[in-house]
Structure 1
């Protein structure tokens, strides 16, 4: 017998979500599966839809909503950060440029991990700094696969267009040149959680004079491969490689990145 919480409305919500775990369902199907009355199922399903815990497919059937994937991704944050250190270090070493990992938080993107270029010109952004979602290749990646309503809302005031994001989805990566700062270029690719939803963006960035005005032409494959390694790690959790990460001062940091310890170039 299924355990109950003792709180009636929560138990009924759990029944509906549990029924949708098997796939999309009509209102009548949910009534049959849950044993709840039609008015109750309709009232709760519509409320869950407003909270994005439930959505509807093209046929009008109820299905699990994107908010559940977002919550699942947040629950996996620690594993993502633990895995990010070695992957970003390899990316930095392969490209010779700073590498970062960004996550979206509302109308901003947060640099949650970074490995800095060891020497030479670089524009650093401390881990934990919030950057706008209106500019940069990482912002394009974090927005490109959003549901339509959130995508078009995110385009308001952005320096890129819906056509730009269509190209990002087609290629699987984004680039920017002088978006947020006139002399900085970057290339980013999506990291996906177990459900396939984009949960983060991996980036490399540096001066335009090194990356050129078409940085994706020579960096995209390497960045996409790094993002794929993080995606695979999230789908198959385990003990990550404990390769040390060094700060700009040359101090070694373990595989788990500590907030504020590392900084990367602006994307």
Structure 2
């Protein structure tokens, strides 16, 4: 029983440490003890003990005013994560799962000047489908993917999260009279726009007003953004 209690205390200590670091996510800037207390639910006396250790290890820095900001070690961790993220390999499983769940073609597009380029692609196991290969370049037109670029590439993940499924762009018969698609934005580190996640199919088999499919795309876009380093659960803002 004693060993179990020690393990429980260790896990609780890790949870408290991580919650204090997570309190710096969202709005940039310093945090007061009151801010940290409000964001974590911990008592100030507890916070002070943990902040001493975090300060010693370089994860936070205490200002002369008594407020705290993230330290050099936290910045180094962020840079290490950023350099380790491979966009294509991270998003390939995302499009494969989405294609399997919906039975439609799933893609990720990124911007290349005035073009959008298919970065990764997954096709359903069916005869009637939209066949586009990764690496295909398409113009910025009135398709769902292009509309999602225009709508969100100067926004943040919080704006998309607040919009819900209403933020998903859709189109039918653009470029090809037989095809329809819907698209949602993707965000990464610093909640910056990365590209768009798109579902597409043949009109008659794929319905852009299908609320279940729109919800699956919305959830997949937020989950993928979190994988890329975005913080999706903060309050909405420009």
Counterparts of 1:84 and 1:224, CA distance in 2? 15
Distance verdict in 2 for CA 1:218–1:170, change over 3 Å: closer
Q: Which residue of 2 aligns with 1:202?
A: 197
Residue 188 in structure 1 maps to residue 165 in structure 2: no
Alignment of 1:1-267 (within 5 A): 79-147=86-154, 171-212=166-207, 214-235=208-229
Query: Where in structure 1 are there 5+ consecutive unaligned residues?
Result: 1-20, 24-71, 149-167, 237-267
In the alignment, is the contact (CA less than 8 A) between 1:187 and 1:216 conserved in 2? Answer: no
For residue 96 of structure 1, report the CA deviation from its aligned partner.
Answer: 0.5
What SS does the aligned partner of 2:196 have? strand
Map of 1:156 onto structure 2: none
Structure 2 Cα separation of the partners of residues 140 and 169 of structure 1: 16
Superposition CA RMSD, Å: 2.7
Contact 2:85–2:228 (8 Å) recurs in 1: no
More helix as a share of residues: 2
Identify if the C-alpha distance between structure 1 residues 180 and 76 changes in structure 2 by more than 3 Å, giving closer, same or farther.
farther
Deviation at 1:197, TM superposition (A): 2.1
SS at match of 1:131: strand
Runs (5+) with no aligned partner, structure 2: 1-27, 31-78, 156-162, 231-238
TM-score (norm 1): 0.49
Distance 1:217 1:104 in 2: 27
Decide whether the 8 Å contact of 2:105 with 2:130 is kept in 1: no
Cα deviation 1:148-169 (Å, max 9, x = unaligned): 9xxxxxxxxxxxxxxxxxxx89
Count of equivalent residues: 146
Deviations 1:61-87 (A, max 9, x none): xxxxxxxxxxx9xx7695221111211
Conservation of the 8 A alpha-carbon contact between 1:80 and 1:230: no
**Cα deviation 1:93-142 (Å, max 9, x = unaligned):** 11001110101111110000001121221231111111011121111111
| Alpha-carbon distance in structure 2 between the residues aligned to 1:77 and 1:184 | 36
Q: CA deviation at 1:215?
A: 3.6
CA–CA distance in 1 between the matches of 2:229 and 2:217? 19
Q: Report SS of the residue matched to 1:179.
A: coil
Give the conservation status (yes or no) of the 8 Å contact 1:174–1:216.
no
3-state SS in 2 of match to 1:113: strand
The alignment's TM-score, normalised by the length of structure 2, stands at: 0.55
